[in-house]
Amino acid sequence: MNNLVPFQLPEASLRDLGWNLALGVLLSAIAGWHYSRRSKTKVLRRDLGLVLPVIALTTLLVISVVKSSLALSLGLVGALSIVRFRTPIKEPEELAYIFLAIAVGLSLGADQREAAALGVVVILAVISFTDVLRTRDKRAEGNLLVTLDLPPGDPTAD
């Protein structure tokens, strides 16, 4: 009865966690800088760029703790089913950067450093490339405003 757990939990290395946290800070800061430089929206430009590292590191820490325990992962699913955003995300590009930060945290939490670094480079390159194409093919959009100035008077007098 001494061995109640039929499997061995892997040892969590603080050195690996430290490297993952450092790489997470670097990659998410690059993503935040990229967002603040190229974002078209003025509302959340600075704020979201500063929050992306926090999102990535929080995700990294949660996955690092939960990855070895089925009970903890089921508890996490239950806890996350309660949480939801109260503020809607208005721009799709904001959502893309938030998902990128979550993906960095997930991949680093699962000790996939190469996948995280390569993914950030490729995704930011694709975003930059599509941004260049979008600005090159920019056409005049919007409404046409016509103003007519008529002299004051009775229109039925003629």
Taking the model in full, what pTM does it have?
A: 0.70
pLDDT of the residue at 25: 94
**Distance of alpha carbon 141 from the chain centroid:** 28
Confirm if 77 and 62 have CB atoms less than 8 A apart: no
**More confident call, 109 vs 79:** 109
How many CB atoms lie under 10 A from the CB of residue 52? 25
Confirm if 108 and 67 have CB atoms less than 8 A apart: no
Model confidence band, residue 59 (pLDDT cutoffs 50, 70, 90) = confident
pLDDT of the residue at 1: 47
Q: Which of 21-25, 74-78, 94-98, 136-140 has the highest mean pLDDT?
A: 21-25
| Apex 80 CA angle, 75 and 86, nearest 5 | 160
